Each structure stands twice: as C-alpha cells, then as structure tokens.
Structure 1
C-alpha cells in the first residue's frame, strides 16, 4: 500500500529507510542476543524489528515522506541486489562504555554504503535537512538502559567482537518504514518497498 493510501496529510510521521532482514537471518542474529541476554539493564530489540538503517528521518510531514518515497522509487531502481554478510559485535560509543549494542557488517559493506549515500542524497533532494553524522553500517540488537553498564557486559561484547560470520543475506529490497513508539516497544510498519534490480 503506497503512502497516498495510508495518510491524508495530517500529523507527523516518524520514519526511517532501512534494509530488512529475512527470517532465517533474524534467527541467526537472535542467537547472538541469547548469548548476551543474561545482563540486566538492557532493552533488547525484538527479532521481527531487526533491520539495517540507511537513514533515520525522525518526525516528518507526510508530504515530505511522500516526496522521498517518490524519489527513492526512481533513484534506487537501477541499483542491483547484492550479498551482505553480518559478522562481529560492537557497541556505541565503545564496548567499554556501551549504550547501543550492534552486529557489524563485513562483505557487502561498500554496496551498503552506496545505498546509504543514494538515500541521503534523495532525502536532501526531497527537502530533508542533511544528516550530520557519517553513516556507520550496523544492526542494533540492544540498548543499554542502566548507568553504568552492567558489570561484565563490556567483556562479553568484546568476546563477541571478532566473532565468526553470523549470517549472509541477499539485499533485494529497501523499505521506507513508519515507527510508532509505544510503551511495549516500537511498532514498525512498511510504508513503501523499493525492489533492487536482479543481477
């Protein structure tokens, strides 16, 4: 269902552009979570919400989101599908002071960065302010709510840091998502899907 059918132009939409994960890859990433779940004070991302963010849009007017959707349909149409390998675990701002725990990207990273560049250029062309932070390819799996971080969490993250390959996916689609923040956790709803060209 396109954005024209979903909104009449009233109110702001909290949205982002991302690469979704297929179910088998979500199960592999969930295995990493399970090895770290013994620590209190961490809010873990639900597996159905796993994704690699290309551009966070924040709360935006529907007409701006619609314009971006139309732009991405054009700018992403000639991008080819590619393999992306998830590997290693880390944290922002660092494993010693973890606030967000993530799974990293190895193979396919340059292609992912290219998608992020195209998405950023499309967002700016559609009227969004430029993103000041550089793109860092990652998949967030948990957010640390406790301060300081639970004892032993840093060591556990560093033990996973040089881990083996977690999953390899074929990036075939980019999705524009709505994010609704609720007490039980965010609800993500696809607004528009942008298929990449097949090899």
Structure 2
C-alpha cells in the first residue's frame, strides 16, 4: 500500500535531512515508500491474473480508511540496526482486517503469511553503518523531524508490486486495486 504522493514527498525530504546525521548504507527511494500487506515472494508471472482476481475479491467488502505515520523504530540489534522504520497510526484495525483478508484470499493459491506477527511499517533505511553506536538519541532526532509532518492519508486503493532489484525505484506497480466506496 503506497503512501500518498504528498506524504511520500514529505517523508523523502525528512529522510534526506536525516541521512546527513544517520549513516545507513541504503535509504529507501521516495517512490518506494509503502506498507506491505503481504509479502508474496518469487511469484510465477503466469499466476498473476489469478492472484489479482483473488486480491480484488479480498477487498470487495472493505471501505476506505485513514492512516498516518507515527513513531520511529528499528529492527535488529540496537547498536547497529538492520532497518529504520516509521510506524503506522490511524485506523490500524481496518489495515489489519485488509491484511487478514489478503492472507486468506492468497492461501488457496499457495501463498502463506509470515510466521511473525504482522507489524505494519514503512521502511526508511537499511544497514546502519555509523561509526558511533546507534542509540535512542538517534530515534529522538527522527521524532523531531517526523513531528513536523502531521500528515495522514485516505486509503482508497492499494497495489500489487513486483520488485526490480538494483533499480531505483525498485518497485513496479503490476495492478492497482480499488477499495470500494461503500
């Protein structure tokens, strides 16, 4: 699920500022900011039409909802995190419902949910390479920048991406799926 164009621009600007202070090996391209609903992995292109049909059915009874970005967090060891991310706020119960519907709809096609709990987030950067140990002060710097955003967006559609490794942006939209306006 992509962030709105306005929010992608604001987060991109925030990350350009933060990249001067936080040494991560790779910062996410502005066009690639998204919330993963379900990671599908390597998928046979011939199965895409059936997958799209199942995804459309999964969203058939969903209504648009509002999300926002909130606190920063990390995945990996606190001293040298693997990922810097922004958490998601707003109508997260509706986001969780859409995630559950997608997982249920793709299961008969051979896709499986990850074993770990669903934790919606937007990946901002990967592989901390700073000379100084990463600490909570670094997250406070992010929070000061993020507080300036105060932006939310209305989720009325979501997308099926294909990954194009080593390209920028690396995600290409295969299909845009509309959430009904009930």
Match of 2:126 among 143, 152, 155: 143
**Unmatched runs of 5 consecutive residues or more in structure 1:** 1-18
Deviations 1:66-104 (A, max 9, x none): 322110111202210111011121111365441111111
Match of 1:34 in 2: 16
SS in structure 1 of the partner of residue 72 of structure 2: strand
Match of 2:52 among 66, 69, 72: 69
Question: Larger deviation: 187-196 or 26-35?
Answer: 26-35
SS in structure 2 of the partner of residue 34 of structure 1: helix
Contact 1:175 1:193 in 2 (8 A): yes
SS in structure 1 of the partner of residue 55 of structure 2: helix
Structure 1 position 172 matched with structure 2 position 146: no
TM-score by length of 1: 0.79
Contact 1:77 1:194 in 2 (8 A): no
Q: How does 1:6-45 map to 2 (within 5 A)?
A: 19-38=1-20, 39-45=22-28
In structure 2, C-alpha distance between the alignment counterparts of 1:35 and 1:161, rounded to whole Å: 13
Residues 32, 66 of structure 1: CA spacing in aligned structure 2 closer, same or farther, 3 A cutoff?
A: same
In structure 2, C-alpha distance between the alignment counterparts of 1:150 and 1:172, rounded to whole Å: 42
Match of 1:105 in 2: 88
Contact 1:95 1:157 in 2 (8 A): no
**Unmatched runs of 5 consecutive residues or more in structure 2:** none
In structure 2, C-alpha distance between the alignment counterparts of 1:122 and 1:108, rounded to whole Å: 22
Contact 1:90 1:161 in 2 (8 A): no
Q: How many residues align?
A: 178
In structure 1, C-alpha distance between the alignment counterparts of 2:94 and 2:4, rounded to whole Å: 18
TM-score by length of 2: 0.86
Residues 104, 166 of structure 1: CA spacing in aligned structure 2 closer, same or farther, 3 A cutoff?
A: farther
